[in-house]
A and B are shown apart, each in its own frame.
Chain A
């Protein structure tokens, strides 16, 4: 009798959507993904359509307006799906989550996956408007980089949940374009989240107001402090500090 190590995606309502765009906002560097995802949910008035379930997850639920929510859940608005988490991803569950999500996305014939996150930069304090770098998994996603004049991340190491998701998207040939903004490593960074949302507006043709996000920046930084602290500890256990390393291979 083996331990149950699978992750299931439970659809609260049937998710019937044609070639959706799938955004991912997980607690990561600077909480960039989670902050931008939360802002997208509020701005687009997205609704919960699924949640993730697994024995690998800690026994945690969240309460909002007295209603119970699973911490890992998927929202929808028209043909945009968004996966966010309010708790750090347990290291033990990273690969299982990635497999479950990417297999589900393949079934839904997803047109584009966009993980949203940050790249740690030591001089972030001197950067007024963070740049956004991209990582593409195939030619379809890579074409978007040129179409929208985006910047590529050319060399480096990625660690954590997004590294796993990108690898699985390559394996399943799902177009995936990660958006990574220059960010504080260990402080919540709404400024970096705003930069990511500007790129989303370009690529998806949405019109999400980043001004509203920047006005709430100080409030967001206060309210996400504890999550940032826990996330930083979890990321360290996943080898996140290797993103600061120079890649070993050279050409």
Chain B
């Protein structure tokens, strides 16, 4: 291949490689945004899905939920070995006005979240606290441990 053709070829390959890299980055960026594009609200039930964080540790799972406008006595938590359900009623409805095209005004008065837990837990030993609008639930895992001796 002549030198001139080689330079053009190298430039072309560099362009293709650059394009592929940008395509991958854009594609995965779009994919990651799709993970959160389902609505976080249910207009029929006037319910919001709260922000929730799940942290798994060797002996327990900690679930926290951000529940503004809620008092402790209006929170209901139900757990099985594999799932957790949080329901909470707001102190007063939250209204969004002049928003969207179909519903120019919408209000919500509760939260609801169902969570599939990453490991089995013992719901009878669970503990919950509520401070500063943040609900914190500690769920001890159901673990059967066996000691292994080292030769």
Residues of the A chain whose Cβ atoms lie less than 8 Å from the Cβ of B132: 125, 191
State which of B15, B40, B131 has its C-beta within 8 Å of the C-beta of A226. Answer: B40
Minimum-distance CB pairs A-B, first 6: A218-B68, A221-B68, A187-B66, A229-B36, A218-B69, A186-B53
A56 to chain B, nearest CB (A): 9
Residues of the A chain whose Cβ atoms lie less than 8 Å from the Cβ of B136: 125
**In contact, A3 and B22 (Cβ under 8 angstroms):** yes
Q: Is A106 an interface residue (CB 8 A)?
A: no
Q: Which of A's residues lie within 8 Å of B, judged by CB?
A: 1-3, 5, 90-92, 125-126, 184-188, 191, 217-219, 221-223, 225-226, 228-230, 233-234, 236-237
Residues of the A chain whose Cβ atoms lie less than 8 Å from the Cβ of B134: 125, 184, 187
Who on chain B is nearest to A223 by CB?
B96
Q: Is B146 an interface residue (CB 8 A)?
A: no
Q: Is B26 an interface residue (CB 8 A)?
A: yes
Of the listed stretches B1-9, B27-35, B120-128, chain A binds B27-35
Residues of the B chain whose Cβ atoms lie less than 8 Å from the Cβ of A3: 18-19, 22
**In contact, B32 and A186 (Cβ under 8 angstroms):** no
Residues of the B chain whose Cβ atoms lie less than 8 Å from the Cβ of A225: 40, 48, 50-51, 66
Residues of the B chain whose Cβ atoms lie less than 8 Å from the Cβ of A234: 29, 32-33
- Contacts A226-B40, A234-B32; is A2 near B15 (CB within 8 Å)? yes
The interface residues of chain A, by DSSP majority, are classed as: helix
Who on chain B is nearest to A92 by CB?
B25
Interface residues of B in 71-91 (CB under 8 A from A): none
A46 to chain B, nearest CB (A): 22
CA distance A186 to B18 in the complex (A): 33
Q: Is B43 an interface residue (CB 8 A)?
A: no
CA distance A233 to B38 in the complex (A): 14
A155 to chain B, nearest CB (A): 23
Residues of the B chain whose Cβ atoms lie less than 8 Å from the Cβ of A92: 22, 25-26, 29
Who on chain B is nearest to A3 by CB?
B22
**In contact, A222 and B69 (Cβ under 8 angstroms):** yes
List 5 A–B pairs whose Cβ atoms lie within 8 Å, in order of A's numbering.
A191-B132, A218-B69, A219-B68, A221-B66, A233-B32
Residues of the B chain whose Cβ atoms lie less than 8 Å from the Cβ of A237: 28-29, 32
**In contact, B53 and A185 (Cβ under 8 angstroms):** yes
A6 to chain B, nearest CB (A): 14
Residues of the B chain whose Cβ atoms lie less than 8 Å from the Cβ of A126: 131
CA distance A148 to B111 in the complex (A): 43
B52 to chain A, nearest CB (A): 9
Residue among A90, A186, A222 with the highest chain B CB neighbour number at 10 A? A222
CA distance A107 to B136 in the complex (A): 49
Residues of the A chain whose Cβ atoms lie less than 8 Å from the Cβ of B94: 219, 222
Q: Is B118 an interface residue (CB 8 A)?
A: no
Residues of the B chain whose Cβ atoms lie less than 8 Å from the Cβ of A223: 96
A186 to chain B, nearest CB (A): 5
**In contact, B19 and A91 (Cβ under 8 angstroms):** no
Who on chain A is nearest to B37 by CB?
A230
**In contact, B133 and A221 (Cβ under 8 angstroms):** yes
Who on chain A is nearest to B14 by CB?
A2
CA distance A223 to B64 in the complex (A): 19
Who on chain B is nearest to A91 by CB?
B29
Residues of the A chain whose Cβ atoms lie less than 8 Å from the Cβ of B68: 217-219, 221-222
A178 to chain B, nearest CB (A): 25
A112 to chain B, nearest CB (A): 32
CA distance A221 to B90 in the complex (A): 13
**In contact, A229 and B51 (Cβ under 8 angstroms):** yes
A130 to chain B, nearest CB (A): 12
